[in-house]
């Protein structure tokens, strides 16, 4: 059996795509995935180009694989994902060890590319965006535990001025409603209890229905929640400009929709939001959050921030800090702005000194940590619905699961049958809030 070593960078879409790369090559050539590169015949890097650092990492990484490739004849190296899409054949110029170059929309063509590279002895490249073809060519989904990602759309058509994604993943294309539901159904039949519906801009989902209409994300959530065995639905990532009333209603009306939302805001300054071409104002964003919290009290809320966007003044940054005070996010991903070649913002003069950017980032992250600790502290003493996912990594005989608000909880498992509880929802009393996780006590296991 040939062996595949797979390294994934970046977002959940890339994680999903990596699992599909493994599935495609297992079906076509019998590849099995290995954790040990020394055993591997094929190395695939699924790359991210959202920030320069992530992109540069790929080239330094490729440098390190030269000796690995030379150590055994026939070994091959492939580069997929957003760097492949962005750079194309230029990758070979910088890293001649590469045999395969494929984009996020052409990973289903890996078997053919592999054959082609072997037959010709030359690199095989396909970085096109052939609409939704990929999904029709993938093998049946295979569950790996009680949670699963399901990609519902590809690409992004928002063209935020700083972002490379629309250029590397193409325009938005939604999968038909029935196709997505069939995938959820197959996963549920294999024991999946929680699905995360994925898209770069998932609330722009408009999936064709059999009667020629278009289903939105709220309808998709409602349908997925009705599939036998599915006890929880999540979705990510949303864009605030398209965060519709129907989605707010879904948080009020659909108990299986997890009480957690990742809603990237990027900045609290309307001037910067305008320059980023985000299509909403700070007040509009806060209004949506207010209505969301009315619809689902206690909802966990996280966001993305970019600090040091070109021309971001102290005043702009103070407005971001003020927004954080009002929104009280309990988690966030925050980044220093990284100019991406070919995006409109890359042409702006980057006037903010590096030390200022770093100081702003540290201040922002510290404040979010405060709110995160406060949020976690308030969970102590409450009963949370937890999906028990796996044995706890740190404590033998304990289980680990996630709350609706997307926090890990570790809890002692009953003496007999801990394994039997994996994949079950349980009421868990939160007993302690640690820095990165919670501890709890099993109250009751839900009936299947
Ligand atoms: N679809 C999401 C949204 O609604 O904003 C974002 C997807 S993007 C791939 C993930 C995050 O990376 C963004 O929210 C942003 O904070 C960050 N990001 C994107 N481009 C960036 C850049 N040029 N520099 C720094 N951070 C960036
Ligand atoms: Fe990027 Fe904006 Fe789309 S951040 S992924 S262009 S919503």
162, 200, 263, best to mutate for ligand 2 pocket (most atoms within 8 Å of CB):
200
Q: H or E segment at 284?
A: helix 282-295
Q: How far apart are CA 426 and CA 414, in angstroms?
A: 13
- pLDDT for the residue numbered 132: 61
User: In this structure, what are the phi and psi dihedrals at residue 74, rounded to the nearest 5 degrees?
Assistant: 95, -10
267, 335, 365, best to mutate for ligand 1 pocket (most atoms within 8 Å of CB):
335
- Ligand 1 environment, Cβ below 6 A: 11, 50-51, 162-163, 165, 200-201, 237, 239, 264, 266, 304, 306, 335, 337-338, 340
Q: Looking at the CA of 160, which ligand is closest?
A: 2
For the record, the structure tokens of 295 come out as: 């619809």
Buried b (16+ CB within 10 A) or exposed e, 78-102: bbbbbbbbbbeeebbeebebbbbbb
CA of 91 to the centre of ligand 1 (A): 23
Q: Looking at the CA of 169, which ligand is closest?
A: 2
Q: Looking at the CA of 263, which ligand is closest?
A: 1
- pLDDT for the residue numbered 395: 84
CA of 156 to the centre of ligand 2 (A): 6
Q: How far apart are CA 48 and CA 59, in angstroms?
A: 12
Q: What is the 3-state secondary structure (H, E, C) of 348-402?
A: CCCCCCHHHHHHHHHHHHHHHHHHHHHHHHHHCCCEEEEEEEEECCCCCCEEEEE
240, 304, 352, best to mutate for ligand 1 pocket (most atoms within 8 Å of CB):
304
- pLDDT for the residue numbered 51: 93
- pLDDT for the residue numbered 136: 78
- Ligand 2 pocket residue status of 159, Cβ below 6 Å: yes
154, 163, 199, 235, best to mutate for ligand 1 pocket (most atoms within 8 Å of CB):
163
CA of 164 to the centre of ligand 2 (A): 8
Helix axes 217-225, 245-253, angle to 10 degrees: 20
CA of 429 to the centre of ligand 1 (A): 35
- Ligand 2 pocket residue status of 62, Cβ below 6 Å: no
Looking at ligand 2, which residue's alpha carbon is closest to its atom 1? Answer: 163
Helix axes 110-120, 12-29, angle to 10 degrees: 60
- Ligand 2 pocket residue status of 239, Cβ below 6 Å: yes
- Ligand 2 pocket residue status of 273, Cβ below 6 Å: no
Which residues of the chain are modeled with pLDDT < 70? 131-132
Closest ligand 1 atom to 263 CA: 4
Question: How far does CA 198 lie from the centroid of its chain?
Answer: 7
Are the CB atoms for 431 and 440 separated by under 8 Å?
yes
Looking at ligand 2, which residue's alpha carbon is closest to its atom 2? Answer: 160
Are the CB atoms for 122 and 141 separated by under 8 Å?
no
Q: H or E segment at 117?
A: helix 110-120
pTM reported for the whole predicted model: 0.94
- pLDDT for the residue numbered 377: 97
CA of 237 to the centre of ligand 1 (A): 10
CA of 224 to the centre of ligand 2 (A): 25
Buried b (16+ CB within 10 A) or exposed e, 159-178: ebbbbbbbbbbbebbbbbbe
């Amino acid at each position: 059996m040939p062996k595949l070593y797979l390294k994934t960078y970046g977002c959940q879409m890339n994680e999903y795509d990596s699992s599909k790369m493994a599935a495609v090559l297992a079906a076509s050539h019998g590849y099995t995935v290995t954790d040990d590169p020394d055993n591997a015949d094929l190395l695939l890097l699924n790359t991210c180009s959202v920030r320069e650092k992530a992109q540069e990492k790929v080239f330094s990484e490729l440098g390190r694989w030269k000796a690995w490739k030379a150590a055994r004849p026939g070994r091959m190296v492939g580069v997929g994902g957003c760097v492949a899409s962005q750079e194309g054949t230029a990758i070979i110029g910088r890293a001649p060890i590469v045999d395969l170059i494929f984009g996020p929309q052409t990973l289903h063509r890996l078997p053919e590319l592999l054959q082609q590279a072997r037959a010709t002895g030359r690199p095989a490249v396909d970085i096109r965006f052939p609409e939704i073809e990929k999904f029709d060519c993938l093998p049946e989904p295979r569950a790996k535990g009680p949670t699963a990602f399901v990609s519902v759309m590809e690409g992004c058509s928002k063209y935020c001025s700083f972002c490379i994604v629309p250029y590397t993943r193409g325009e938005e294309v939604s999968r038909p409603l029935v196709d997505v539901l069939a995938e959820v159904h197959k996963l549920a039949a294999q024991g999946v209890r929680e699905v995360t519906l994925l898209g770069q801009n998932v609330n722009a989902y408009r999936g064709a229905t059999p009667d020629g209409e278009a289903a939105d994300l709220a309808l998709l959530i409602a349908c997925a929640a009705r599939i036998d065995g599915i006890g929880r639905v999540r979705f990510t990532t949303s864009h605030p400009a398209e965060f519709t009333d129907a989605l707010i209603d879904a948080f009020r009306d659909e108990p299986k929709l997890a009480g957690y939302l990742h809603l990237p805001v990027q900045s609290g300054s309307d001037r910067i939001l305008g320059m980023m071409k985000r299509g909403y104002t700070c007040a509009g964003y806060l209004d949506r959050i207010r209505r969301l919290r009315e619809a689902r009290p206690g909802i966990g809320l996280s966001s993305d921030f970019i600090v040091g966007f070109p021309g971001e003044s102290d005043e702009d940054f103070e407005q971001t800090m003020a927004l954080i005070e009002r929104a009280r996010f309990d988690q966030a991903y925050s980044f220093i702005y990284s100019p991406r070649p070919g995006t409109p913002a890359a042409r702006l003069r980057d006037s903010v000194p590096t030390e200022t950017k770093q100081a702003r980032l540290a201040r922002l992250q510290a404040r979010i940590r405060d709110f995160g600790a406060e949020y976690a502290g308030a969970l102590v003493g409450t009963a949370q619905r937890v999906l028990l996912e796996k044995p706890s990594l740190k404590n033998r005989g304990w289980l680990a699961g996630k709350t609706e608000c997307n926090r890990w909880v570790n809890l002692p498992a009953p003496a007999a049958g801990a394994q039997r509880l994996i994949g079950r929802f349980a009421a868990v009393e939160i007993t302690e809030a640690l820095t990165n996780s919670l501890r709890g006590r099993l109250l009751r296991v839900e009936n299947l």
